[in-house]
Amino acid sequence: MDDSKQIVVTATNRQAPVIEPGHSFASVTDKISAIVLTRPTSNGWFVGFGVSFLLLMGMLYAVGYLFLKGVGIWGVNIPVGWGFAIVNFVWWIGIGHAGTLISAILLLLRQSWRNSINRFAEAMTLFAVAAAGMFPLLHLGRPWLFFWLFPYPNTMNYWPQFRSPLVWDVFAVSTYFTISLLFWFIGLIPDLATLRDRSENRWARMIYGMLAMGWRGSARHWARYETSYLLLAGLATPLVLSVHTVVSFDFAIGIVPGWHTTIFPPYFVAGAIYSGFAMVLMLAIPIRKFYGLEDFITERHLQNSAKVMLATGLIVAYGYAIEAFMGWYSGNRYDAYTLWNRLHGPYAFFYYMLLACNIFVPQVLWIRKLRKSPPALFLISGVILVGMWLERFIIVVVSLQRDFLNSSWGMYYPTRWDWMTYIGTIGMFLCAMFLFVRILPMISIFEMRTLLPQAEVKE
Amino acid sequence: MKRTLIYGLMAEFDNPTDLVAAARQTYEAGYKKIDAYSPFPIEELGEAIGFHKNAVPLVVLIGGILGGLTGYLMQYWIATISYPINIAGRPMHSWPSFIVVTFEMTILFAGISAVFGMLALNGLPMPYHPVFNVPRFAFATKDRFFLIVFSSDPKYDTASTRAFLEALRPRSLSEVPG
């Protein structure tokens, strides 16, 4: 028994530690809470927040104009009725998946390295799902009637159609947002109590105190808390897999060539985690640098995230290969044409870009040196995010633009309003992230304490 | 007339090992109305203070079952009774199409029960609690570990309990005003 324990310890010792040695309960607490409580807000924060805020304002302008004029201002038309709105929806919701994977699945798998990145990854999930949710609502045409999607007794004597994947999507995404929010919030309660007890400012103390709800760290509370947290993780795990599966049903249940395949659910989920980890790295790398958190977000975290990206990237590559293979093997001429159209059609350039970004460039992650280099990882993650966006563009646009009847073929060009809305949601996401790192502890303080060697009870 | 002047006696410790050992000794000495406070969850602590009945899993189970039933029955009622429409010749009760929403509702209800059930069982939110009257208790959310014997314990006696807790060699000992 002791021997096996010894082996585990040496095996992990060879890797970089999850938390740099020399920290105590107090130093972990002080270092993370100081970012929120005492550290002056840097000029960089104001510049970053300001730029994001401007982009957000651009989005509000575009959305205001949309409300005034209708979806005609976008590039969508028959045959491509889905366009940017659905591309961006799928892209954003996929990004959110990494947060839940880190907070729930890695918790169940007892991956203790998750403890230093789960909090901001969960925040990323929330903001990404909020950004994703904008698009189908705006795409409705009459967004102010969005509540018609929910089943509620109404004077029209009408109910939603539960045989439609679009209605499943409403339930999947709204459940996902609710559960992510609850998971994030109960994770925050003990840390909010820490901030309540640490802050000097009367208002901060009152606000954090109200949010902490009188948490006092009683052993009875912790026992129930841990059970509840674990159960939530167990519930969120199938949930996160179901969300992108249901998103893929939006396509796979339809008969459009290029959509109607059974590979979609697993390949969508893998792609979601792929792009999500890319976003986690794009956020973690600057955050650890600017806030000096290299002690807590170590090389180990970067390496592990890179490995997850490599693995999920290969699953995505397998998905592309099977799609191409089925185009030929099915013997269906429409499927075969979709493949031909991807390779030689008017959007072929983007298909090759997609292969380059998602399959070829990420293979450099096999090199250990690059998995350890923050600038290289930052760059590769950016490439993957672009690639995953292109993937959704190819799926949505290239399949729709030329389907069964060539009399109804057409082209799709996004307008400036499409771009303003899309870039605006990036601004909205970053705005929310900037506010989050400023007012809430971006690393879970109490879970970091449990990682310290002195947290263990010696019998 | 005041009911109790003292809510309990609170001992402060430096590390989780001392706290768990002290909690065990206190419980074994016959004090049953005790509690312990720590800045992070300690697995051994619940059992050390004699906490065994954790009702959270039951609450979540009930929530999940209710959610699943709500989801399925709602769809059944809508699709067959209240608003039956023929979609591509499928039967009115086309149950495979109802699985996704049933699943999502199960997760939603179970998750909400997990969070609000836990908060309710813990009696939170509770803005005021006597333990906050001890100034050093602010460290319970940082790096200190506390053990309290409530004055409502039948064995509680200010003098003898204080002597007992002193013997556990705490870092500090304070009376918690009620």
pLDDT in tens, A298-332: 888 899 999 999 999 999 999 999 999 998 998 89
Pick among A216, A240, A452 to test the B interface (most B CBs inside 10 A): A216
In SS3 terms, chain B reads as CCCCCEEEEEEEECCHHHHHHHHHHHHHCCCCCEEEECCCCCHHHHHHCCCCCCCHHHHHHHHHHHHHHHHHHHHHHHHHHHCCCCCCCCCCCCHHHHHHHHHHHHHHHHHHHHHHHHHHHCCCCCCCCHHHHCHHHHHHHCCCEEEEEECCCCCCCHHHHHHHHHHCCCCEEEEEEC
* ipTM value for the complex: 0.92
Nearest Cα residue in chain B from A231: B114
| Tens of pLDDT, residues A34-77 | 888 888 888 989 999 999 999 999 999 999 999 999 999 999 99
pLDDT at A3 over 60: no
pLDDT (0 to 100) of residue A5: 43
Residues 217-236, chain A: which have Cβ within 8 Å of B? 217-228, 231-232, 235-236
| One-letter-per-residue 3-state SS of A72-86 | HHCCCCCCCCCHHHH
A408 touching chain B per CB within 8 A? no
Chain A residues closer than 8 Å to B35 by CB: 218-220
Cα–Cα distance, A177 to A223 (Å, whole number): 26
Q: Which residues of A touch B74 (CB under 8 A)?
A: 151
Asked whether the predicted pLDDT for residue A1 surpasses 80, the reply is no
The model's pLDDT over A86-119, given as tens digits with 9 standing for 90+, comes to: 999 999 999 999 888 888 888 888 888 888 888 9
- From chain B, pick out residues whose CB is under 8 angstroms from the CB of A222: 38, 40-42, 45-46
Low-confidence ranges of chain B (pLDDT < 70): 1-4
- A335-345 pLDDT tens trace: 999 999 999 99
Residue ranges of the domains in chain B? 6-53+139-177, 56-121
On the question of pLDDT at A453 being above 90, the answer is: no
Minimal CA separation from B54 to chain A, in Å: 6
Rounded to whole angstroms, the Cα distance separating A186 from A104 reads 13
With CB atoms and an 8 Å threshold, state whether A231 touches B110.
yes
Domain coordinates in residue numbering, chain A: 21-151+254-452
DSSP class of residue B36 equals E
The rounded distance, in Å, linking the Cα atoms of A316 and A322 is 10
- pLDDT for the residue numbered A4: 43
Contact A214 B94 (CB under 8 A): no
Distance between CA B31 and CA A14 in Å, rounded?
47
Instruction: Report the DSSP beta bridge partners of residue B36.
Output: B147
Q: Residue B5: what pLDDT?
A: 78
Average pLDDT, chain A: 90
Mean pLDDT within A80-89: 92
pTM of the model: 0.91
The one-letter amino acid code at B135 reads P
pLDDT at B138: 87
Assess whether pLDDT exceeds 80 at residue A12. no
Calculate how close chain B gets to A452, using CA atoms only, in Å: 11
For residue A455, the chain B residue with the least C-alpha distance is B16
Which tokens belong to B143? 């790096």
Residue A442 has pLDDT above 60, yes or no: yes
pLDDT at B167: 84
Pick the CATH number of B6-53+139-177 from 3.40.50, 3.30.70, 3.30.40, 1.10.3470: 3.30.70
**Residue-level pLDDT at A14:** 58
What does the alpha-carbon distance between residue B82 and residue A132 come to, in Å, rounded to a whole number? 32
Residue A6 has pLDDT above 60, yes or no: no
Percent pLDDT > 90 in chain A is 66
Residue identified by tokens 């203070």 is B49
Give the residue-averaged pLDDT of A193-213.
90
Distance CA A88, CA A138 (A): 12
What is chain B's mean pLDDT, rounded?
89
Q: How far apart are the first and last CA of chain A?
A: 17
For residue range B124-172, what is the model confidence (pLDDT) as tens digits?
898 888 888 888 888 888 888 999 988 888 888 888 888 888 888 888 8
Helix (H, G, I), strand (E, B) or coil at A333: helix
**What pLDDT does residue A314 have?**
95
pLDDT of amino acid B3: 52
Alpha helices in B42-130 (DSSP H): 43-48, 56-76, 99-121
**What is the Cα–Cα distance from A78 to A334, expressed in whole angstroms?**
19
Q: Which of the four pLDDT bands, split at 50, 70 and 90, describes residue A9? A: very low
Residues 6+ away with beta carbon under 8 Å from A423: A55, A58, A59
